Structure 1
Amino acid sequence: MEKVDTAHTPEDADAPIEFISKSLQGRTIASDVDVDGSNVAYWTYEPIKPTQDARTILVIHGFRGDHHGLLRVADLLPDMRIIMPDLPAFGSSDPFCDDEHTVERYGRFISGFMAALGLGPKTVLLGHSFGSIVASHFAARNPGAIYPLILVNPIAAPALEGPKGIMTKLAVFYYQVSAKLPRRLGLALLRNRAIVRVMSITMAKTKDKDLRRFIHGQHDAYFSAFADRRSLLESFKASVSGTVADVAGELRLPVLLIAGEKDEIATLPNQYKLMERLPEATLEVIPDVGHLIHYETPAPAAAVIRTFLEEHPA
C-alpha cells in the first residue's frame, strides 16, 4: 500500500513552513513493509528528474527520532533517491517481535529491510547519531553490502566515559525508573514536555529564533513517538553501549564523517581520533553547530554529501 506522505509537513510541529520546501511533498511516497514479522513504515523521496545514475541513500535516524529528523537534508538532495524508515519501535514502526532492541538486532533489521526493498550493494548508507552506530556496525559485519558510508554526528567515544559520563548515567537512571513505574506515570515522565524542551534547548546552538522554534516544535511533535517503555529502554542502552570506534578498523570502504564544531555529545577531538582509526575516512567539520546538523545546517551537510558521492561513484 502506498500513499503520499502529508505527515512530514512542518505545520504538524507548529513550525514555519519555509524550513522544508513544498517541492519535497511531490517527491514523497509513504509505504510500509513487513520485516521479520514487524510492520515498518518508510518514506521514499524520489529524485525530481530520475536518471540511471541517481544514487540511492538509505538513512538511519537517531535515538528517539524518526524519519522527520532528516527531512531538511533530503530536501536539499533533490537529485537523489532517499529512503528513510522509522526504525522498529520508533515513529510509526512496530517494535521487534520477541527480540531485544540492540545494535546487532538493528543491523539485522537493515539486512532484512534492504532485502525486502531489493536494495543492492550500490546503496549509500547514512546514519545519524545512534544511527551512526547501527550503520557502522552493519557495514563492518556485512562487507560489500553498501557503498559508501556516511556518518552524521557520529558517536565516536563511549557515552559512559569522559566529562559527560555522569550525565549519561543520570539518563540511564531516568529510563530505568520510567520503565519500572506504573505505566501511566512512566509514560508521563518519558513524554514530559518540560524534559523534552530542556533537551532541545541544550542541543540547539543556532541563534535564529525561528529555527530554534522549528527545532523545538520537531522535538515536541516526534521525540515521544516510541512504541513502549521496554523497547525504549533497550534502545537507549544500545545507544550508550556502542560506538563507531568499536568497528572502525573493520570498515574497509570510504567513510564520510560530518561533525559539528560545538557538538557536546560527539565531541570534535573524538572525531579526529575516529578518523585516524578508519582505513579510508574523510572528516568534514561544520562550524557553529552541535549535535543537530540535520536541523541547523542541512545545506553544508548536503553539499559535502554530494561532493563525497561524486568522488566515490557507485
Structure 2
Amino acid sequence: MDRRLASGTVNASQAGNGPPLVLLHSLLSDRASFDRIVPELSKSFRVVVPELPGFGESQAVGGGLAAVADRMAGAIDDCADGEDVIVLGNGYGGFVTLQMAIRHPNIATKLILADCGAAFPEAGREAFRNMAAASKAKGLSAITDVAMRRLFAPEFQQANPDLMRDRREAFLKTDLEVFRAACDALAELDLRPHLGQVKVPVLVVVGEHDEATPPPMSHEIAAGLPQARLKIIPGCAHVPQLQAPAAFLAAIGDFLAPTAAP
C-alpha cells in the first residue's frame, strides 16, 4: 500500500502492523533496496519506506540536505499517527536521518544509521565532486560502473547478475539534478559539531568492506553520539540489507526490540 505524506509531496509504501519503522534509502539506489528485509520487519512493525525527495514519485526540494531532512521530518510526523517512530537510514538516507535528528530532536525514539557518517574525508569529498562533474558532462551512464562499485564488491556483482541489472536500471532512473545536488551537499557536509545534540539511542552499522562510507566514518559517529553502539557486518559493502539480509536483520534485531538499551 502506498501513502502520500508531507502534504502529498512524499510517496511511501507501507506494509505490516505495529509500531512505525521508517526506512530511508541511499543515493545510489531506491526504496527497492529494502525489499529483502521488509517482509520480515513487517511481521513486527508497520514498515514505511518513502521515496526521498526527487526520487520516484516524491517531489524534489531545493535548499540542500537540511531541506531534505525537513521534508522527511514532515513525512515521518504524518506517518507516525501519534506513535513513537524508529528511523533507519542507509547511505544518503543515513545522512538525511542524522541531519533530521539534529534539526528535529523529537522526530524519533531510536535511530539506525547504516553505512553513513557525519562528514567525509577529503578523498570522499573529491569522489562526490567527480561524480557530480562526470554526470553533468556525460550523464549518469558515465558513472554507473563507479556507482555500482561503491555499492557492491566486484565478487558480489559477478555472483548476482540479475540483481546488478536491476540496481543499474534503478540508478539510471535517478533525477540528474537531484543526484548532482546531493553530491554537492555531501561533498561539503560536516555534522560532527552537532552530534552531541542527538540524545536518542542510536545503532550504527556498517559493512566491513564499505568503500563508499568506510568503517572509520561509522566509528567516528558512534564515538561522537551520546547514546550509540557500533556493529560491523562481516563480508558486506554499502548496502548490507541487499547483500546479506539475514545478517543485517540479525545485526539490528536486538536494538529494534522494545527493551533495547543503548
Give the alignment's TM-score, normalised by structure 1.
0.74
Task: State whether residues 23 and 50 of structure 2, in contact with CA within 8 Å, keep that contact through their aligned partners in structure 1.
Answer: yes
1:8-87 aligned within 5 A: 29-31=1-3, 33=4, 35-36=6-7, 39-46=9-16, 50=17, 54-77=18-41, 78-87=43-52
Alignment pair present for 1:263 and 2:210: yes
1:293 Cα offset (Å): 1.0
Task: State whether residues 101 and 238 of structure 1, in contact with CA within 8 Å, keep that contact through their aligned partners in structure 2.
Answer: no
Alignment pair present for 1:144 and 2:144: no
Whole-Å separation in 1 of the counterparts to 2:174 and 2:149 = 21
**Structure exhibiting the larger radius of gyration computed from Cα positions:** 1
After superposition, what is the alpha-carbon deviation per residue over 1:255-306, rounded to whole angstroms, capped at 9, x for unaligned? 0001111112222223222211111111010011111212112212112222
1:218 Cα offset (Å): 2.6
Number of residue pairs aligned between Structure 1 and Structure 2: 259
After superposition, what is the alpha-carbon deviation per residue over 1:215-235, rounded to whole angstroms, capped at 9, x for unaligned? 4123222112234x3333222
Whole-Å separation in 1 of the counterparts to 2:31 and 2:179 = 17
Whole-Å separation in 2 of the counterparts to 1:101 and 1:218 = 31
1:208 Cα offset (Å): 5.2
1:60 aligned partner, one-letter code = L
Match of 2:120 in 1: 158
Whole-Å separation in 2 of the counterparts to 1:84 and 1:280 = 25
Q: Partner of 2:35: helix, strand, or coil? A: helix
1:205 Cα offset (Å): 2.4
Unaligned residue ranges in structure 2 (runs of 5+):
none
1:195-214 aligned within 5 A: 195-205=143-153, 207=155, 212-214=160-162
1:57 aligned partner, one-letter code = L
Task: State whether residues 101 and 235 of structure 1, in contact with CA within 8 Å, keep that contact through their aligned partners in structure 2.
Answer: no
Match of 1:304 in 2: 251
After superposition, what is the alpha-carbon deviation per residue over 1:237-263, rounded to whole angstroms, capped at 9, x for unaligned? 123322553532111110000111111
Task: State whether residues 20 and 83 of structure 2, in contact with CA within 8 Å, keep that contact through their aligned partners in structure 1.
Answer: no
Alignment pair present for 1:226 and 2:194: no
Give the alignment's TM-score, normalised by structure 2.
0.87
Whole-Å separation in 1 of the counterparts to 2:244 and 2:191 = 22
1:64 Cα offset (Å): 4.0
Greater mean deviation of Cα atoms: 230-239 or 252-261: 230-239
After superposition, what is the alpha-carbon deviation per residue over 1:182-208, rounded to whole angstroms, capped at 9, x for unaligned? xxxxxxx3242x631343145312745
Distance 1:203 1:232, change over 3 A: closer
Identical columns (%): 21
1:170 Cα offset (Å): 1.7
1:155 Cα offset (Å): 2.4
